[in-house]
Homo-oligomer: A and B are copies of this chain.
Amino acid sequence: MSLERYWEDYAIGEQIATRGRTITDADIRMFIGATDATHPAHVDAQYAAGHPFGRVTAPGALSIGVIDGLVVRYLVPQDLKLAHYGYDKIRFLHPVFPGDTLSMTAEVTAKREKNDGFGLVCFTYRVVNQDGELCIVVEDLQMVERRPAAA
């Protein structure tokens, strides 16, 4: 499922699997520097030890970034025909801990005409950790160029 193509080329049901990305403590620190999104759940091991999860977790919004990294690398490595339209329904189902490796399957789950130049493609990502536990589900909306009429 290379995304280097026109909106017309996508077929609902297509799937691709990515490799993984390990999330580490350094990712959390850099993410905080880039966003100010700090919280004891992510940086205070003492607080986290007393929390139901028992240890520090990665911020949900960092995982969204890592998923975006997998998209850029494995789905659309050099694509310039896309624009990020938005997300529908992101669900955090299972905590992500430093040391976890996230990978995902992407599936084309919907298509919608937008205008003469572009259409929308909805990709659903099912993101699992190294133990196969389903951590996050994402519905990602990409705006993709339509094939020129003359073409």
Contacts and interface: CB of A to CB of B under 8 A. Distances in A.
Interface of A: 19-22, 24-40, 43-47, 56, 59-62, 64-74, 77-78, 80, 84-92, 99, 101, 103, 130
B91 A36 contact: no
Contact of A33 (B30, B67, B92, B99): B30
Copy number of this protein in the oligomer? 6
B36 A20 contact: no
B88 A92 contact: no
B37 A68 contact: yes
Most chain B CB inside 10 Å of its own CB: which residue of A35, A62, A86: A35
Given A30-B34, A45-B130, 5 more contacts: A20-B45, A26-B28, A33-B33, A35-B69, A89-B89
B38 A36 contact: yes
Contacts of A32: 32-33, 36
Given A64-B64, A69-B36, A88-B88, A101 B45 contact: yes
3 smallest beta-carbon distances between A and B, as pairs = A33-B33, A36-B69, A35-B65
5 contacts: A26-B28, A29-B30, A34-B66, A64-B65, A87-B90
B24 A29 contact: yes
Contacts of A35: 21, 27, 31, 62, 65-66, 68-69
Most chain B CB inside 10 Å of its own CB: which residue of A24, A39, A45, A88: A39
